[in-house]
Amino acid sequence: MNIMRVVRDLVTTQRVSGLQARPLRVLEDARGNFEVAVDAVGARVGDFVITIAYSSARIATGDPRVTTDLTIGGIIDDWDEDKWHGPARAGT
């Protein structure tokens, strides 16, 4: 699992049936890299979240038929911004 921040919603009008109608979010990691995840918990822009990756990501959606390798599995209630911009971003 990793900690990431929700940057924005991602709207797709055409998608494979394996994604079903699941909401998608653009996430940013502590190094500034972006990834797309299925949102299984209703995260909002600005929330820090815990992500579940690889084959476990399918199970985390509640339906192992969902085609994903990254799922938001939880919203972090209390996360200090200093932890986010700490050593992982040093020098940027």
Domain positions in the chain: 2-11+21-79
CA distances from 61 to 24, 30, 70, 82, 86 (A): 12, 24, 10, 30, 30
Alpha-carbon span 31 to 39, nearest angstrom: 21
β 34-39/70-75 pair status? parallel
The backbone torsions φ and ψ at residue 91, rounded to the nearest 5 degrees and listed phi first, read: 90, 0
Is 70 exceeded by the pLDDT of residue 24? yes
pLDDT category, 90, cuts 50, 70, 90? very low
- Percent of the chain predicted with pLDDT > 70: 89
* Mean pLDDT of all residues in 58-77: 94
Structure tokens at 67: 């085609």
Asked: is 2-11+21-79 a CATH 2.40.50.220 domain? The reply is: yes
Its pTM stands at 0.85
Token pair recorded at residue 36? 């797309």
